[in-house]
Chain A
Amino acid sequence: MQQRPPAEPLLAIEAVSCRFGGLLALDAVSLQVQEGEIFGLIGPNGAGKTTLFNVISGLTPPSGGRVLWRGTPMSRPSPERVNRLGIARTFQNLRLFDSLPVIENVLVGLHHAARQPLAGALLASPAFRRRQAVLRSQAIELLALVDLAELADQTAASLSYGDRRRLEIARALATAPALLLLDEPAAGMNPVEKDDLCALIDRIRAHFALTVLIIEHHVPLMMRLCDRLAVLNFGERIALGTPEQVRHDPAVIEAYLGGQP
């Protein structure tokens, strides 16, 4: 039951290509992410999923095509500018600030809104201290959301794998994004943790009015979680649609089963 699409997608990828030497990691990929949806990106290893995230987040300049944010092309995107536009991400190979306490990892992200008079900060004025206390309680709230409030003072490096994945999500949320990019957030988790993660993603989407773009190999989970899915294979977008449409797409079956009848 297709509704009338909103006038403008939140994020539009238009014919984005990305070449590394002889390898075409992305081949004129186009897709549009609507505000409020959970959009899934699946595909075999090396399909170019992470590369697409890197292009969106300003880490890898595309060799062709463009990315539009709320209808406007991103000009000379750098990672920090992309983040300030309202796009936050997590990393497939966890990139936390390992030597910092858990709460500091989140506080780093909260600072987007924390510009303060320099003099007040240098002199530790009462206003500055109040503001710091507010930031800390916001950080604790975010940590509580991902069940890490108890571990706030441990160093990030000391956390278990699943905890680290959720801390990365909390850290990304701290930058108050409108669009959250999750790169294999369930990798390395057991089935119970995966279910919890699904619930968490649903919860944060509702809580923060988020749009989510998620990469994940676990197809059943994606079918359940996502409103729409795109399938990449060797840098090409071979399918796009609702989970039901994608499930029955012959190109997808071909890509996943390697051409077996």
Chain B
Amino acid sequence: MDTLLQILFNGLSVGAVYALFALGYTLVFSVLGVINFAQGAVFTLGAYFTYLLIGGAVGANGLLAGLALPFALPFWLALPLAGLAAALVSLLVEAVAFRPLRRRRAEPLLYLITSLGAGVILVNLIQLLMGAEGYSLPADSLGALPVALNLGGAQVRTVQLVLLGVSALVLIGLTLWLEGSRGGKALQAVSEDATTARLLGIDSDGMILLSFAVSGFLAGISGGLVGLSISITGPYFGIGFGLKALGVLVLGGLGSVPGAVLAGLIIGLAEALVPSELSGYKDAVAFAFLFAVLLLRPQGLLGRPQVTKV
């Protein structure tokens, strides 16, 4: 039986990753006002990149069957590199699925479709190259660290601590960057009022690219972390997570960073508290929560209500 402390840790670590992933959606949403449905596929890619970078070999089914990189990096290095690779892919998604529509000032509805299309392409590319099978990161990915630690009498999996620690680190870094740096402030300015920001000389196209890059990085890191903790179940692995992260995002309030963190932790904890007899229903927890909250508070937990001025 898990102790309450273990459950708490489980919940918090998963929740922190949800938050991280959700923030990726927020960045793009706050700048462009649209949801990027390819985000789940970028997350999947992050996991695969991490797997390959730490020296994992491709299975027997894809076009790349049997292939492996000639080097094996430690997880600490592989994860940020996978994040960067995911950021590149995210830029590609922007170029293919967003920029042509933006040029034509298309209605926002179309972005849902094209980004989903980009996701379909990515997922099936993975399948084509690496097969449909699952992969798991080797047990010794974390080097010499013990599998579990004893914290106050409870056994806590080291992986959980890594998830929590890395997520916290990235979240803090992201906040510092958004609040402290020129780029971060410019991004916030564009998200608050694109027209005014343009008048102030902020390059909104550059900001859009920046938001895609950072959101891809966050998705890639989240993918790598989840891959480490529960193994990669196949090319479709990120879709469910992507949807849940979207739920987390809306639950917290679209565009609100603290909201996304709060909602991520709430959902992580709520899922961890589902008794094991009902574990089949775990995937519905986030959505049931979200549904209930939307009906009571349409702007989400920490979002600002929309006002239409007449």
Direct contact of A and B (CB under 8 A): yes
Can you list, as one digit per residue, whether each of B281-310 has a CB less than 8 Å from chain A (1) or not (0)? 000000000000000000000000000001
User: Which residues of A are found within 8 Å of B310, using beta-carbon distances?
Assistant: 50, 53-54, 59, 91-93, 95
> Which residues in chain B, 107-162, are within 8 Å of chain A measured between CB atoms?
none
Can you list, as one digit per residue, whether each of B239-257 has a CB less than 8 Å from chain A (1) or not (0)? 0000000000000000000
Label chain A's interface by main secondary structure.
loop
Q: Distance in Å from the Cβ of B221 to the closest Cβ of chain A?
A: 39
Can you list, as one digit per residue, whether each of A86-102 has a CB less than 8 Å from chain B (1) or not (0)? 00000111010000000
**In the complex, which residue of chain B has the Cβ closest to the Cβ of A92?**
B310
What is the CA–CA distance of A5 and B310 in the complex, to the nearest angstrom? 33
Q: Distance in Å from the Cβ of B293 to the closest Cβ of chain A?
A: 23
User: Which residues of B are found within 8 Å of A50, using beta-carbon distances?
Assistant: 310
User: Which residues of B are found within 8 Å of A59, using beta-carbon distances?
Assistant: 310
User: Which residues of B are found within 8 Å of A53, using beta-carbon distances?
Assistant: 310
What is the CA–CA distance of A54 and B309 in the complex, to the nearest angstrom? 10
User: Which residues of B are found within 8 Å of A92, using beta-carbon distances?
Assistant: 310
What is the CA–CA distance of A53 and B310 in the complex, to the nearest angstrom? 10
**In the complex, which residue of chain A has the Cβ closest to the Cβ of B307?**
A20
Q: Distance in Å from the Cβ of A26 to the closest Cβ of chain B?
A: 14
Q: Distance in Å from the Cβ of A98 to the closest Cβ of chain B?
A: 13
What is the CA–CA distance of A54 and B310 in the complex, to the nearest angstrom? 8
**In the complex, which residue of chain B has the Cβ closest to the Cβ of A59?**
B310
Q: Distance in Å from the Cβ of A76 to the closest Cβ of chain B?
A: 19
Q: Distance in Å from the Cβ of B106 to the closest Cβ of chain A?
A: 15
What is the CA–CA distance of A170 and B310 in the complex, to the nearest angstrom? 19
Q: Distance in Å from the Cβ of A73 to the closest Cβ of chain B?
A: 23
**In the complex, which residue of chain B has the Cβ closest to the Cβ of A57?**
B310
What is the CA–CA distance of A95 and B310 in the complex, to the nearest angstrom? 9
**In the complex, which residue of chain B has the Cβ closest to the Cβ of A51?**
B310
User: Which residues of B are found within 8 Å of A54, using beta-carbon distances?
Assistant: 310
What is the CA–CA distance of A91 and B310 in the complex, to the nearest angstrom? 7
**A-B CB contact pairs (8 Å), 8 listed:** A50-B310, A53-B310, A54-B310, A59-B310, A91-B310, A92-B310, A93-B310, A95-B310
B residues adjacent to A (C-beta < 8 A) = 310
A residues adjacent to B (C-beta < 8 A) = 50, 53-54, 59, 91-93, 95
Give 5 A-B pairs besides A54-B310, A93-B310, A95-B310 with Cβ atoms closer than 8 angstroms.
Answer: A50-B310, A53-B310, A59-B310, A91-B310, A92-B310
The 8 closest A-B pairs by CB, nearest first: A54-B310, A59-B310, A91-B310, A50-B310, A92-B310, A93-B310, A95-B310, A53-B310
